[in-house]
Amino acid sequence: MYQQVAWMVSIVLIALLAIAFFYVVRQSSREGNGAAVAAATGRWRGRLLWGVTLLCIPVVAYTLTELPYARGAIANLGTVEVQAKGYQWYWEISQTELPVGKPIEFQVTSADVNHGFAIYDTDMKIVTQTQAMPGVTNVLRHTFEKPGTYKILCLEYCGVAHHSMMTELHVVAQ
C-alpha cells in the first residue's frame, strides 16, 4: 500500500510544483513592480513554510506510530522463529514453510558481507525487509495474511552475483 501512496503523493506534489514554475515562467517576460513582487514573495514563503510544517507534523506523528522494529520478546506463544543467514550469494533459512496468520520472527544476519533481506509477495511487491549484516542480528517480525510462494531477494549490493541471490518461502494455510 505504501508504494502506491508514495507514488501518488509524489506525482501530485511534483505536478503542483511544475504548474507553479510554468505559471511564473510564463509571467516572467512581463515587467512588474519589484517591491510588490518582493512583498508577495515573502507572503508565499511564509505560506509555504507554514503549510508544509502543518502538513508534516501530523504525517510524521502518525507514521512514527507504526515502527517495524522489534522490541522485547513476543508474548504470543504461537510465534514461529526463523533464522536467516546471508552468504555470497545464497540464503540459508532454517524453515521455508511457514503458516498463514501466525507471527513470524526472522532473525536475520550474514556470514560475510552486508545483504538485504526483502520479502516479496506473490505479485512481486515488497512486503517488508531488513538488512543482513555480519556480526549483527536484525529481528524482523511479520505475519503473512495470504498463502502462496513468497520470494526473498537480496536488496543490498553484495558482489558480482548479487542479482541471483534469491530463494523462496512457502506460506501455507493450516
Partner 1 sequence: MNMQKEMPAVGAVKVYAAISGVVILLMMLFGLVMRMTQGQMLPIEPELFYQLMTAHGIGMVAIAGLGGSAVMWHFLGKYVNLRAGFAWANLAFFLAGVVLVLGGIFLGGFAAAWTFLYPLPANGMGQWGKHAAAAYMGGVLLVGVGMLLFYLESARAIMQKYGSFARALGWHFLRSGQDAPPATVIASTVVTIINIIAILIGAVILTMMLVNLYVPEIAIHPLLAKNLIFLFGHVFINSTIYMAVIAVYEILPKYTGRPWNVYKPFVWAWSATCLMVLTVYPHHLLMDYAQPLWMHIMGQIISYTSSLPVLALTLTATLGSIYRSNIKWDLTSALLVLSIFGWSAGVIPAVIDGTIAVNQVMHNTLWVPGHFHLYLLLGCVTMILGFTNWIANKEKAVGFSGLEKAMLWTFACSAFAYALMFLLSGQASVPRRWAVHLPEWLVYSQIASLFAAGVVISAMTIIVRAMGGIIRPARQA
Using CB under 8 A as the binding rule, the residues of this chain from 91 to 150 that contact partner 1 are: 112-114, 116, 118, 120, 124-131, 133-140
Least Å distance between CB 174 and partner 1?
A: 26
Which residue lies nearer to partner 1 by CB, 13 or 97?
Answer: 13
Answer for which of 63, 76, 94, 95 binds partner 1 (CB under 8 A) is 63
> What are the backbone dihedrals phi and psi of residue 113, each rounded to the nearest 5 degrees, phi first?
-115, -175
* 2 lies in the site for partner 1, by CB under 8 A: yes
Residue ranges in 66-85 that form contacts with partner 1 under rule CB under 8 A: 66-71
Least Å distance between CB 167 and partner 1?
A: 15
Which residue lies nearer to partner 1 by CB, 72 or 78?
Answer: 72
Which residue lies nearer to partner 1 by CB, 40 or 172?
Answer: 40
Binding-site residue total for partner 1 (CB under 8 A)? 79
Q: What's the rounded Cα separation, in Å, for the pair 164 and 136?
A: 23
Residue ranges in 17-56 that form contacts with partner 1 under rule CB under 8 A: 17-18, 20-21, 24-25, 27-34, 37-38, 40-41, 44-45, 48-49, 52-53, 56
Least Å distance between CB 102 and partner 1?
A: 20
The torsion angle over the Cα atoms of residues 67, 69, 75 and 76, rounded to 10 degrees, is 80
Q: What's the rounded Cα separation, in Å, for the pair 131 and 2?
A: 19
Buried b (16+ CB within 10 A) or exposed e, 63-85: eeeeeeeeeeeeeeeeeeebebb
Answer for which of 152, 155, 169, 171 binds partner 1 (CB under 8 A) is 155
Contact 82, 130 (CB under 8 A): no
User: At CA 5, angle to CA 102 and CA 123, rounded to 5?
Assistant: 50
Amino acid at 29: S
Q: Is the peptide bond prior to 89 cis by the omega test (within 30 degrees of 0)?
A: yes
